Amino acid sequence: MSGFLRIAGRDLQLAYRARGEALLAVAFFLLVAALFPLALGPEPRLLTRIAPGILWVAALFAVLLSLDRIFLADREDGSLDLLYLAPLPLEAVVLAKILAHWLSSGLPLVVCGPLIALLYDLPAAAYPVLLAALLLGTPALSAVGAVGAALTLGARRGGILLPLLVLPLYIPVLIFGVAAIDASLLGLSPRPQLLLLAAFALASLPLATVAGAAALRQALE
Amino acid sequence: MSAIVANDLACQRGGRPVFSGLGFSLSAGQCLLLGGANGSGKSSLLRILAGLLPCSAGSLTWDGAALDQDPLHHAGRLHYLGHLDAVKPALSVAENLAFWAGLQQGRHGEEALLHFGLARLAGEPARRLSAGQRRRLALARLIAAPRELWLLDEPSVGLDAASREKLENALADHLAGGGRAVIATHQELGPAQAGRLDLNAFPPRHPDREHAW
């Protein structure tokens, strides 16, 4: 088994042992989305109109909850030094961490996305688009978030700095993710928005591994 | 004879000079014990040797080749054991060791658990271990994956007498097999003929101070 799979596998194992945390993030995601109808009143047309935006904003916040875990625990118990010395490039370590974070924190949000669509009574045609948008968008959230987590490792109060650093970088995912679902609600093709989401994910993954590894090297010194 | 040679080594941390003008040579089968007051740079020197920290001046070569020339290759021939044990509380003792041994391509996990008396605890979650047992689990990595150079930072802290003897035995085997070790310690450790390096003898020069004005 390659070192890449070992690291990703161990992170998944750790996430599974602490699965309460992942469930909390999912519960947070659903709860935030469920609060808006209570706050804005039961107006079906308004709720359908704002559903895509609420879904994505709630997803961004839920992802934020688990970001600082990506590297902080490994730094605090000394594992990060050993991962740095492991016989694979640091970029591969970062990519393994991003993959494990997405599988443990991003994928549960994708799975629960339809529940929110149900809550807001979205038409059936919107479901596949919503799932596709979440599937394409959430990997980018993990990738960009890992860079933020690596950058704030050495900082005091890094937990507060992290959302301030990462949320602005999440804006493209938010815009195109919402636009894709909006398009399907209006009966238009969501293809261009989905392609842009895919492009953002594909560009952010290699960039995030390089930037994340550079940030980790800084943090080690 | 291949040797690790440090020449006129200096170290800075956070802009503060720690030591300078440090030099030593370490051949196969030799052990170097680092002494010196707290803050004299023992841990920093170990991190420099591991490639975790750049030195601010001087040269560090192994067999004539600079250590930072091929960091991945260098990392593959050493064990670094810092103050922290790199043990995950949520994983079992065996899982913890198997992860690092696998990553470091070592096949002697069971042997290592036996040597440090952890075989009985193999299935226990590591959160139930005492500090000394956690330390033994970290030490077991040394045996699980054989490496040429051991860099140990206060390896015997928290160990009882029996475990310290096991560490001594492992170290003696390692050196007898042509391995090398650099150990920062305040306790008596290692073979009697081990080399000693007192970091108090290499206080930092303050080149910056002259130009500070």
Note the pTM of the prediction, 2 decimals.
Answer: 0.92
Cβ distance of A78 and B82 shorter than 8 Å: yes
pLDDT tens digit sequence for B51-81: 999 888 889 999 888 888 888 899 999 999 9
pLDDT tens-place string over residues A156-187: 777 789 999 999 999 999 999 999 999 999 99
Q: Is the Cβ pair A87, B80 closer than 8 Å?
A: no
Find the residue in B nearest to A77 (Cα). B86
Res B90 pLDDT > 60: yes
Chain B residue with minimal CA distance to A3? Answer: B103
Nearest C-alpha in A relative to B53? A221
Residue type at B63?
D
Interface test with B, best of A19, A21, A82, A217 (most B CBs within 10 A): A82
* Parallel/antiparallel/unpaired status of strands B65-66 and B57-62: antiparallel
Residues B88, B128: contact at Cβ < 8 Å? no
In chain B, which residues have their Cβ closer than 8 Å to the Cβ of A17? 90-91
Would you say residue B212 has pLDDT above 50? Answer: no
The distance from CA A129 to its chain's CA centroid, rounded to whole angstroms, is 18
- Percentage of chain A with pLDDT > 70? 100
* Contact at CB, A77 and B103, closer than 8 angstroms: no
> Has residue B28 got a pLDDT over 50?
yes
Question: Which pLDDT band holds residue B208 (cuts at 50, 70, 90)?
Answer: low
